[in-house]
Amino acid sequence: MERIGFLGLGLMGHGMAHNIVTKGWPLTVAAHRNRAAVEDLVGKGAIEGSVQAVAGCDIVFLCVTGSSQVESLVRQMAPHLREGALVVDCSTSDPVSTAALAAELATRGVTLVDAPLSRTPKEAWAGTLDVMVGATDAVFERLRPVIAAFAGKIVHIGGPGDGHRMKLLNNFLSLGYAALYSEALVLSQKVGISPDRFDKVIRGGRMDCGFYQTFMGFLIEGNREAHKFTLSNAAKDLRYLEAMADAAGVANPVGNAVKNSFVAALATGGAGAEDYVPHLPLFVGRANGVDMEP
């Protein structure tokens, strides 16, 4: 079996790495500020090493915030990567950066694969994430058995960079729903229809969906961790979408409006590491003098 390295043991990465090591793949992880994650994985059979030690593996997974972190890690690893190695970026990254890094690594005989994720940390632990992969056919076939350790749905979306392009489109839809739900719920509350009565109409109807149900886990059930995806990450992804649309010469007015909903929330007190996407109605409500606390 190929030796697997993993960098980025956060909300998603810890669950992914757990599935890799417990399903029999040799795993090396680097020290992380979340010592509990490292110690948990070492207890399950992983090896702790340096970033350079991780770079010596056959396949290295990165699961970090975005392109700036990916670029930093890739350049730390570059002198230590083996010819023929794969670097798999599971972050939601800027496709322009992805293409530049891929070209840079290709000069060393290393292949960069974009394999961003959909769903939540709960599915990362369950091994049922959705993964969209940008790679050649041969690289995809090599990588698929490892991804299958933590994914229930694996889509070979296209060539290098297409995974990150599709991920931005996927997030545009989900975050667009979040912005739409938030405005609708605030308006609903303002005109005297409570979120629970709003939910009785939407849930189970044609406008219901899995994302809606997760999103409403906060307002209806008071679960602050119903969907642990931060407002700051949402704004970052929508900035990447804006850049992709600009590069393609496509007007993206709805995308910009959605981005502004999240940027406004951050500008009016949204804490980057503590407030998640389902909390957006709190900030839309605050801007309109409406109390949206569950």
Residue ranges of alpha helices (H) inside 9-136 are 13-22, 35-43, 51-55, 67-77, 95-106, 121-126
CA angle in degrees (0–180, nearest 5) for 75-79-80: 110
Set 23, 167, 190, 228: catalytic member: 167
Amino acid at 42: V
Question: Is position 44 annotated as part of the catalytic site?
Answer: no
The C-alpha atoms of residue 235 and residue 89 are separated, in whole angstroms, by 20
Question: Is the Cβ–Cβ distance between 162 and 114 less than 8 Å?
Answer: yes
The C-alpha atoms of residue 214 and residue 241 are separated, in whole angstroms, by 23
Tokens 């119903």 found at: 226
The C-alpha atoms of residue 292 and residue 271 are separated, in whole angstroms, by 17
With CA atoms as reference, report the closest residue to 230 among 280, 185, 267: 280
Instruction: Classify residue 159 by its DSSP letter.
Output: S
Catalytic positions, written as ranges: 167
